[in-house]
Structure 1
Amino acid sequence: MDSSKFTQDLPDWPKQTVRGHTIEGYRYTSKAFADQEFDHMWTKVWLLLGREDEMPKPGDYQQEEVGPESIIMVRQDDGSIKAFYNVCHHRGQRLVSAPKGKVRRFVCPYHSWAWTREGVLDFVQDADDFPQGNPCGKLTLTEVKCESFAGFIWVNMDPESISLKDYLGPVWDDWKGYNIQNWKRYLAKSTVAPVNWKVIMDNFNESYHVNTVHKPKGANVEKLRIHSGVDTSYKTTRFDMSDYGHNRMIMLGGYAGPAINKEGTVGEPLATILREWEVDPADYTGRGEDTREGLQAARRKLGTERGYDYFDNLNNSQLTDAYHYTLFPNFAVSLWVDGFHFLRARPHPTDPEQCIFDNWWYSPQPEEAPDQVRTTAGLVDREAEVEHELFNMGEQSMGLTIDQDLSIFPAQQKGMRSRAYKGAYLAGQESRVSRLHELIDDYIAGANK
């Protein structure tokens, strides 16, 4: 079956050439290489860091770390957001340590230098004791370029960078119709993983591992959860690449064909999803390949009256299919018609063989929606307020499918240190892995200035 006939109403992404990369082991273990990555790549790209609705009032701030740097994002009196490096220009102390909070001014905990929310120094102790004159009004925090899109706050440490819209390219056009800025977070789990950040991003840049790592182990609930409704075959999957290294993978969804049982009936959870949209699964007994179009028609008909007003902005494929994006360098998302699976890997500040990995989930809040939201870690009450959890890998579950991925990563990280590993031997469907590494090298070489 050719997937192109199902996604023919989608505009083409620009054609890209993959040169091929050997992906040597030192790229995951070397501190010297990690330093090159940070100096030449991390400081030149747009990074998704914060969320606007988590800082709604003037003085609300969020703080996130990227490698050795810490960035503060703070809401201004006029409603805009500014971002600054989290460092006092007196003696280098970090101004805040909490991940979020509210301030009138940023007051350094070391010597009480105070900086306005606009980043201007407006108080120092013993102002008359500075031979070069009172520093107030002369010094400002170092600002970081900052823009907002889809409700998220993005920063770029390069003041000469292109705009976020230009950087995202076709991703911007794909996402803008969903009104993601109005969606709510229902899962927020982060772990310190004993692997290089690229081990995680390599994994999300290919689906070759799915039939092995996520292969059902026998429990009916696991079989149904993983396979019902999505065709994971690379032969029916659409792969696209953009100019700045972002990728898109579209798998057919709402589709009972791959998981229909021997009696020809539609399994769970797809059967329940069909019923939620007033489609009787029994009508599709023996013809599971037709459920996708049936679900699309139902969502097209009922979506607006149920409060999913953005359905009118989406094409038919977006109403059912699994849209998986990897945004260069460190962000992956599975975007469903009613779910945004947020996956991010940030480099450790000192150790190239560790990273911080985030597994979050956002969903819309229409008036007529089920009382519970489906997430990768199970059902969550729609009215629940979710706290961010940070823990070492293995201390808690990150959710079924993500736990399966994480069970593989540490042994791969160890294998990268073996003298026997000479580099990757990639399948065609793993070309996005190669391109990730090609672009990292291009930044290090200065080719992306």
Structure 2
Amino acid sequence: MSVIATHVDDSTDQLREKLAAEQERPDYAIDPYFYRSHLVHELELEHLVFKSWIYALHTSEIPNTGDYQLLEVGEDAIIVVRTADGSINAMHNICRHRGSRVCEGTTGNRKTFVCPYHGWVYDLDGSLKAARETHIMPDFDKTQLGLKAVRCVEYMGMVFINCDPNAADLVASLDKMRIPLGAYDLANAKVAHRQTYRIQANWKLALENYLECYHCATSHRAYARLHTLKDLEEKSAPVVAKMLENADAKTGIAGIAQAHTQIYLDADNFGTCAHTMRYGLYEGFVTGSQDGQPVAPLMGHFKDYDGGAGDFQMGPLSFMLNYPDHCVLYRFLPRSLTETDMELVWFVRGDAVEGKDYDLEKLTWLWHHTTLEDDYIITRNSLGVNSRFFEPGPYHTEFEEALQQFIHWYLHTLSEAV
């Protein structure tokens, strides 16, 4: 865990002053205060992270009754479990007696969740099944003491959670990109590999890095060889236009290149971001691999490669880059003021067999190496941003447009919170 100097005289008044100052320079990177303040971090968790829809897992990862995974955000943990009726349930990993965690392993299978402290027993649906020696307490009501529920929805095999009981409908937003996302048949896909990269930096620095490709040409040489996003539109437009013209015919999917963007302040509701577009790969490359050549069987309904890739956003913190033969999901979760978990999930066809239909090292090579490069640049960005001498500079008008949309939403959310 990295250590930084923080403001010992921090206050809500100081936060208001910093927010007001940001309004005076809306096209500039934000003040280092927002990466260093413990007050800001707590407000982010309460008013932004825990009120947003977050990707949790794929349904194939918990196929049996009692299968579960833990999702850890900040200092909290959320249990996502397959219940006896086949549905998927999410709940806080906090005993309703005196707060002990009732589940320790990050994955596993349980018939019940038992508090290790005083032995309270919870069913898979979170209801309190037994509480030792409470028969002498006449007002004790088990029905009111189940594990606290977390909102949970499934969409195309992907499970999303939201800790806000009043959270808006995510599915309605995602449905606006049903055709291009549905082409990959993710409901019948499987997770080939998942890996968590612990980044020693504030979560916003990791997310900001993902939201811009200004750094791609200099920091990601292997990625930049293949993907047109590393260039200005004036250079990449002919390549993309050619791909889009033939995308439907080559893939066999009508509407594969449909575009839709409602993110951050433009989202239907808070935390329900939905975005998709199809962009081009350079000639001679068909997928995201070390050499740009196929690494797995075609996904879902694809008939052939079109020289393109699908870019998706689902909620504020979850993203996908989908090639015709595999998909890569990114998720960003704050763990502390100076630590972020960047989770990558690689998907392949549900019937693909490792060692026969795909080689795991070749499948994961590009984005594993790109993420290691990201780790390097993000941590060094963090060291500079946390210098007392850092002075924010202007955003790039094209490359950092999506990043600016995030920052405007972020500052708006904090302003509303105070």
Q: TM-score of the superposition, structure 2-length normalised? A: 0.76
1:13-412 aligned within 5 A: 20=27, 22-130=29-137, 132-168=138-174, 170-215=176-221, 227-228=225-226, 232-235=230-233, 236=236, 241-242=261-262, 243-244=266-267, 245-248=273-276, 250-253=278-281, 255-256=283-284, 269-270=291-292, 273=294, 310-311=301-302, 319-348=306-335, 351-365=336-350, 371-373=356-358, 378-379=362-363, 399-412=368-381
Distance in 2 (alpha carbons) for counterparts of 1:62 and 1:335: 24
Instruction: Give the aligned partner of residue 439 of structure 1.
Output: 409
Change beyond 3 A, Cα 1:369–1:319: farther
Letter in 2 for 1:323: G
Amino acid at match of 1:180: L
Q: CA deviation at 1:324?
A: 2.8
1:423 to 392, 398, 408: 392
Code of the aligned partner of 2:67: D
Cα distance, 1:45–1:173 mapped onto 2, change above 3 Å: farther
Confirm or deny: 8 A CA contact 2:326 2:349 kept in the other structure. yes
Residues 367/201 of structure 1: CA separation in 2 closer, same or farther (3 Å cut)? closer
Take 1:202 and 1:117, find their aligned partners in 2: how far apart are those partners?
37
The 3 A distance-change label for structure 1 pair 324 and 108 is same
Deviations 1:8-32 (A, max 9, x none): xxxxxxxxxxx64542212222211
Q: In 2, Cα distance between the equivalents of 1:257 and 1:364?
A: 21
Question: Is the 2:64–2:82 contact (alpha carbons within 8 Å) kept by the matching residues of 1?
Answer: yes
Q: 1:76 to 1:98 in 2, by over 3 A?
A: same
- CA deviations 1:106-156 (Å, max 9, x no partner) are 1111111011112221211112333x4344344222111110113121111
Cα distance change of structure 1 residues 26 and 373 upon mapping to structure 2, 3 Å threshold: farther
Task: Report the CA distance shift for 1:379/1:80 in structure 2 as closer, same or farther (over 3 A).
Answer: closer
Aligned partners of 1:320, 1:38: CA distance in 2, in Å? Answer: 39
Aligned length: 359
Greater CA radius of gyration, 1 or 2?
Answer: 1
CA offsets 1:302-326 (integer angstroms, 9 cap, x no match): xxxx8755127xxx9x843122334
Q: Secondary structure at the match of 2:373?
A: helix
Give the equivalent residue in structure 2 for 1:387. Answer: none
Provide closer, same or farther for how the CA distance between residues 111 and 370 of structure 1 changes in structure 2, counting only shifts above 3 A.
closer
Instruction: Please tell me the residue identity of whatever aligns with 1:55.
Output: I
Quote the Cα distance in structure 2 between the aligned partners of 1:139 and 1:268: 52
Contact 2:173 2:274 in 1 (8 A): no
Q: CA-atom RMSD, angstroms?
A: 3.3
Q: 1:247 to 1:430 in 2, by over 3 A?
A: farther
Q: Percent identity?
A: 23
Instruction: Report Cα offsets for 1:283-316 as digits up to 9, x if no partner.
Output: xxxxxxxxxxxxxxxxxxxxxxx8755127xxx9
Report the 3-state secondary structure (helix = DSSP H, G, I; strand = E; otherwise coil) of the residue aligned with 1:311: coil
Find the aligned partners of 1:374 and 1:436 in 2 and give their Cα distance.
36
TM-score (norm 1): 0.71
